Structure 1
Amino acid sequence: MIFEQITTGGCQSYLVGCADTCAAVVIDPEKSQIDRYLALAMRHGLRIRYLLDTHTHADHFSASRQLARQLDAPLVMHRASPAPFVDMRLDDGEMLAVGRLRLQALHTPGHTMDSMCLIAEDRIFSGDTLLIGATGRSDLPSGDPEALYDSLFNHILHLDPALKVYPAHEYKGRSHSTIGQEITDNPRLQKRDRAEFVEMMRSLNLTMPTHITEALRTNMSGGKTVADLLSEAAERVPFMSLGELKSRVDAGDDELIILDIREREAYLTAHIPGARLLPRGQLELRVNQELPDPTRHILTCCELGLISTLAASTLRTMGYQRAVALDGGMKAWRAASYPVEHGPAQ
């Protein structure tokens, strides 16, 4: 077995390959590590044949769908996964053949309804069902502490104690454990009575993951993250520096239309001299009236330079091919002590 463990903060993902056939699977890939998975596969001479998520992640953005499209490889999850774009759905006890390697699926609901673990030779990829010194939480959407008890005490903990445990999360720098070590040392597994375990899980009172809504939305639907939208927009849009814009403002350049896309209150408080107000939410509906000449040079600005990037991209999509965005936004403009106007445009 060719094996690589990739750590991203507390998230753990794995490249597992067959040395004989050069076939590989990436388990729980994280979006920021796409290039790393590809580089590791190339270094080992592997072809990634499958992308697999052990469950629907709520705290980070899965790279499975993007890699599946990029590599023309199937995306694999448990049959209970709500994601409509899954290519191969595994049932409890079924195996995924990766060259001569066999990864056996074990349905382990509790953290989520679609959670599964994978047993491969001497190790188990335990997802968020069993962690090192802990278990996955059961208070997220589709979580169930009763089901988690059954998955742990009636299934996983009956496996070979020597099996190495490789979870989807680990926050203390440990690479792995064993089932035997977890049975002995894991404080949550000392609550062997069902009622006590369930009560403990319901009383954890953990904070919600930072990106839970966006992560669940994108991981379940295949939709785009805000970062995706911004990245795609930035690839299509040129930018103008603060210094270049100031020199044009100082020179009284009337060829450049400065379009402030913030809300009216922010615009009235302070805006770049000569800027017009056209809030982002009204852009598509008012663009023909406000910008009748699609050949004009247009600069969009907002507070931080993010929404203006999206707006400039939208304008280019609509035919305004000279639309650009201000690099840095009004916050950077004020920080540079560049001139501003107050109130409505003169």
Structure 2
Amino acid sequence: MIFRQLVEPLSNTYTYLLGCEHTKQALLIDPVLPAWERDLGVVRELGLKLAYTVETHVHADHITSGLRLKRETGSRIAVAALEGLACADVAIEDGQPLVMGAVTLEPRHTPGHTAAHMAYVAGDKVFTGDALLIDGCGRTDFQNGDARALYRSVHERLFTLPDDQLVYPGHDYHDRRVSTIAQERTRNPRLGGGRTPEEFLAIMRELRLPYPRFIDYAVPGNAACGECPPLLPPQWQEYCEAMKVSPQG
């Protein structure tokens, strides 16, 4: 499997490129709109053709480049069936693999950060989105988030993977790139080290995080698979212009 980890610095989002050496097809997990040209350039430099963009969830901190890449390359947009997005080409179901040549993604429904969140297992790697971060996890106070559900998701769907499974998160704010299941199970300060559900719930209640500043525009944009919504305030119009997409798409 061809593999690259790419970072978008505005939102500190990791995008993952997986390619099949035999079919020369590629997919991108969680691509971000400002970086679509960079990502497509890497795909082409590797002699690959983009077949899919795959989302872990409907993001609140950035807009996906899925739609833009589809318009550029004819790639298909894959999103959890539970999201019910009319713009998606592939409706991903828990446990039903997405197969692209020699590359297989095993979707694992991991609700808690959002209700429809998916993690993806591919060989010795697991792409955990915002469900499990390095020494942390995604917040649970919006988009039907549920701290108790996140605790179950991580402990039952992720911590049950092999110790040496490589954990590739959706974000990191300290320039860390990869962890392992054993490391997170042992020392994750929110979810690891034998913490009880009640302890985790107390931690999440006490975070008192600010309202996400882009959520009111990112969520509808991502519900349209990457269409910048109309009537953006000036600072977000500039954001969309920087992505070479007008506020009207």
TM-score, length-scaled by structure 1: 0.64
**Aligned-pair CA distance for 1:69:** 2.7
The one of the two structures with greater contact order (alpha-carbon pairs below 8 A, sep at least 6) is: 2
Where structure 2 has 5 or more consecutive residues not aligned to the other structure, the ranges are none
1:195 aligned partner = 198
1:24 aligned partner = 26
Q: Which protein shows a greater Rg?
A: 1
Where structure 1 has 5 or more consecutive residues not aligned to the other structure, the ranges are 237-309, 311-346
State the distance in 2 between where 1:151 and 1:22 align.
33
Greater helix proportion: 1
CA deviation vs aligned residue, 1:133-167 (integer Å, no higher than 9, x gap): 10111112211111101101122101111110111
1:210-225 aligned within 5 A: 210-222=213-225, 223-225=227-229
**2:119 pairs with one of 104, 117, 120:** 117
- The one-letter code of the counterpart of 2:40 is L
1:287 aligned partner = none
**Aligned-pair CA distance for 1:231:** 3.9
**Aligned-pair CA distance for 1:87:** 1.2
Change (3 A) 1:142 1:22: same
**Aligned-pair CA distance for 1:185:** 1.6
Aligned residues with identical type, % of pairs: 36
- The one-letter code of the counterpart of 1:176 is V
SS in 2 for 1:29: coil
State the distance in 2 between where 1:12 and 1:201 align.
23
**Aligned-pair CA distance for 1:196:** 2.0
Structural RMSD (CA): 2.2
TM-score, length-scaled by structure 2: 0.88
**1:132 pairs with one of 123, 131, 134:** 134
State the distance in 2 between where 1:168 and 1:68 align.
21
- The one-letter code of the counterpart of 2:54 is L
**Aligned-pair CA distance for 1:173:** 0.6
State the distance in 2 between where 1:235 and 1:117 align.
29
1:304-323 aligned within 5 A: none
State the distance in 1 between where 2:70 and 2:143 align.
25
Q: Is the 8 A contact 1:82 1:220 kept in 2?
A: no
**Aligned-pair CA distance for 1:229:** 9.9
**Aligned-pair CA distance for 1:40:** 0.4
1:208 partnered with 2:211: yes
CA deviation vs aligned residue, 1:287-342 (integer Å, no higher than 9, x gap): xxxxxxxxxxxxxxxxxxxxxxx9xxxxxxxxxxxxxxxxxxxxxxxxxxxxxxxx
State the distance in 1 between where 2:117 and 2:218 align.
16
1:86-235 aligned within 5 A: 86-189=88-191, 190=193, 192-222=195-225, 223-225=227-229, 226=232, 227=237, 231=241
Q: Is the 8 A contact 1:56 1:220 kept in 2?
A: yes
SS in 2 for 1:62: coil
How many residue pairs get aligned? The number is: 236
**Aligned-pair CA distance for 1:203:** 2.1
Q: Is the 8 A contact 1:54 1:117 kept in 2?
A: yes
State the distance in 2 between where 1:105 and 1:112 align.
15
Change (3 A) 1:162 1:229: closer
2:50 aligned partner = 48
State the distance in 2 between where 1:131 and 1:152 align.
10
Change (3 A) 1:180 1:73: same
CA deviation vs aligned residue, 1:80-112 (integer Å, no higher than 9, x gap): 114321111111111111111111000000000
SS in 2 for 1:119: strand
**Aligned-pair CA distance for 1:8:** 1.2
State the distance in 2 between where 1:7 and 1:235 align.
20
2:2 aligned partner = 2
